[in-house]
Amino acid sequence: MAMEKTVIGLGLLGLGTVGTGVVQVLRDNAREIDRKVGAPIAIKKALVHNAAKERPGLEDLELVTDIDAIVNDPEIDIVVELMGGIAPAKEYMLRAMAAGKSVVTANKDVVAQHGLEMFGAAVKNGVDFLFEASVGGGIPIITTFKQCLTANRFTEVMGIVNGTTNYMLTKMTNESMDYDVALKEAQAEGYAEADPTADVGGLDAARKAAILASLAFNTHITLEDVQVEGITNVSAVDIEYARKLDYVVKLLAIARRVEGRGIDVRVHPTFLTKDHPLASVNGVFNAIFVRGNAIGDAMFYGRGAGGRPTASAVIADVVEAARGILTDSRSRINPEFFEPKQICPIEETESRYYLRLRMDDRPGVLGSVATAFGWAGVSLKSVLQRHVDDGAEVVIVTHTTKHSSIVAASQSVAALPGNARVCSVIRVDKSLENG
C-alpha cells in the first residue's frame, strides 16, 4: 500500500561540488521536479565536515556534522551521499538503509568495491540504492543498462569514462603537447586533482569499468578483475605515430564477452580508428559505446563531471526513489540474480597491437626482430622504420594476436643481438575492422 507522504525529505551527505550542484538544480527546477514526483522535495539537512565554511547561496540550509542527526530524522526519506571515499561514506549509507531510508550516491569507489553489500542491504531493508552518477557524471548509463537496454545480450561495452585523461590525450593529439605539459594544464583548468594518480594511472576508469561490466553482463565484477594500465607511458611520439597510421589514442574502459572464456575487462590506452564513434569524443567529455544483440551499436555521450551535470543524474535517482516511496515500489538490483562470473585471463585476451621499438640501424637486425615475432606466433600487418639519432625506430602493427604471444615476442626481442628493445606497446581496437 502506498505511504501517505505529502513531502519527500532529503538528507544530503556532503555539500561540495556535486552537493552544491544538487541544491542549485533542485531549486532552479523545483516546479518541474515536484510536479513530476507528485510531491515537493525538501532538503531537510546537509552533513558537512566543516560547518563554519562559507557557502554562498546555501546559508538557509540546516548544516549538521553528526550523521545521527540525519539517520534518526523521521522526516528524511532519502539520503543522498556526495562525500566520496569509502569511509565513512559506506557506513553512513548502510546506517541510512538500516533506518529505512533510500540511498542515492555518486560514489564509484563504494559501488565498485562494495556494490554487492550495498545492493544486499537495500533488498534486506526494502529501500532503494541508486547510483546513476557514479559512472559518466551526467550521462544516463546506469539506468540504461539496468532498464532501457536490459533486453539485450551484450558483447561489448567501451567507454571514455575519465575526463582528465581524455582532456590530456586530446591536448597531446590536437596541440602536440607533451604529457607533462598536458597534465599541468589539466590541473590549472581544475580538471585534474593535485594528486592525479588515480586518473592517469587508470584506477578511476577501472572502478567505472567494474560497475559497467557488472551491469552489462549481470555478474559481479570487482576492481581486482580489471586489468589496468593508465596513460603515464603514452608519449608524444606514440601519439604522432597514431596520427600517421590514421588512429587516435584514447584511454578506454573495455568489457567484452569472449565466447567460452568469460568476461574480459580492462582499462588501457587504445589506438582507435578515426571513424569509431568514440574517436571524436574530446576534452573532458565522456561517452559509452555499447553493442547489444537487439539494439545493435549505440553510444551515450555527455559531460562526465561537474556540479550541475552530475546533479542531473543524482536528482534523476532522487525522483526515482521518491516515486518508489510514494507508490510503495522499489527498483532494486537483487544480487542473488547475478550470474556466476568467469573472467577471461589476460594471457588469453586478443587484440591487434602497436609496438614501437628501438634497435641498431644495421643490416639483419630488423630481420631478426621480425623472425622473433614470427616464432612467437605474431603476424605483422605493417612495419615502419626510420633512422633516429642512435639507431633505428621501428613501428609494428600486428594482426589479431593473444596477449601472451606479444609478451613472448617482446621477451625474445630483448635477448637478440642489435640492442633491440620495445619502447611502447598499445592495443589497437579492431571492433570496427576485419582481421
Long-range pairs, 48-52, Cβ under 8 A, ≥24: 48/14, 48/15
Closest contact distance (angstroms) between CB of 357 and ligand NAP is: 39
Residue with cell 523545483: 30
Nearer to ligand NAP, 187 or 404 (CB): 187
Name residue 41's beta-bridge partners. 8
Does 50 contact ligand NAP by CB under 6 A? Answer: yes
Residue with cell 613472448: 408
Query: Parallel, antiparallel, or unpaired for β 78-81 and 227-228?
Result: unpaired
Return the residue of 33, 47, 290, 396 that touches ligand NAP, per CB under 6 A. Answer: 47
Which residue of this chain has its Cβ atom nearest to ligand NAP in the complex?
16
C-alpha 313: how far from chain center: 15
Active site annotation includes 208:
yes
Return the residue of 10, 11, 17, 94 that touches ligand NAP, per CB under 6 A. Answer: 17
Does 270 contact ligand NAP by CB under 6 A? Answer: no
Return the residue of 38, 57, 88, 100 that touches ligand NAP, per CB under 6 A. Answer: 88
3-state DSSP assignment of residue 390:
coil
- 3-state DSSP helix/strand/coil percent for the chain, to nearest 5? 40, 25, 35
x/- track of binding to ligand NAP for residues 97-126 (CB under 6 A): ---------xxx------------------
x/- track of binding to ligand NAP for residues 302-341 (CB under 6 A): ---xx---x-------------------------------
Return the residue of 9, 11, 19, 202 that touches ligand NAP, per CB under 6 A. Answer: 19
Does 14 contact ligand NAP by CB under 6 A? Answer: yes
Half-sphere exposure of 40 (CA within 13 A, CB side): 8
H or E segment and range at residue 160: strand 154-160
Name the one range near ligand NAP by CB under 6 A: 9-17, 25-33, 243-251, 362-370.
Answer: 9-17
Q: Are 311 and 291 in contact (CB under 8 A)?
A: no
Query: Parallel, antiparallel, or unpaired for β 129-130 and 102-105?
Result: parallel
Contact residues for ligand NAP, defined by CB under 6 A: 14-19, 47-50, 53, 82-84, 88, 106-108, 133, 137, 305-306, 310
Residues with active-site annotation: 208
